[in-house]
Chain A
């Protein structure tokens, strides 16, 4: 079956612009996670959605970052007024349920000039 997909694969934007990153999880997976990976670094947790529950936003670095998940499926991560330090690879992952194996998407490589 289809894995987790993300779009766009690459995004170049100018400082101050808003960007939207999309994640399509594996069908039937109730949990969805967003992570940020800077060059040569580990995975920094951003936000977690589980079913219809309120998302855990504890990892969002600032109020410029927000995410939503519509209909329990597709998720969009929005970064407003982008800064150069936002440049990173943004990874999405989904799992069948709480505490289950995570399957990662290919990521969106964001470059803020």
Chain B
């Protein structure tokens, strides 16, 4: 089955800096890669996703890149703000339509 590794487990940045979270996956059949943000005590919410026919996608301060050859994808947050502080999860899914999630990255943005 699919295996998703996510790094780092914690990330501390100063407000205004950029943050990058990386995930690798094992199943070359995976073709959908969503990213979720989960604030403390809240439900995970989709912030951006990418499909395997695209190498990069951007939405304001958030971007995701995908390297299918290397089987890794990354979340980039620019100009971080304190409200970006949360746990971020990557996921990969393919033929089974059941996403495999990474273990999460706790992002702390210091004002």
Contacts and interface: CB of A to CB of B under 8 A. Distances in A.
Contacts of B45: 104
Contacts of A45: 98-101
A106 interface: yes
B103 A42 contact: yes
Interface size class, chain B: 20 to 34
Contacts of A99: 31-32, 93, 97
Contacts of A104: 36, 43-45
Interface in B43-67: 43-46, 49
Nearest to A107: B43
Interface residues of A, number: 21
Nearest to B34: A101
A89 B108 CA distance: 23
Interface of B: 31-32, 34, 36, 42-46, 49, 89, 91, 93, 96-104
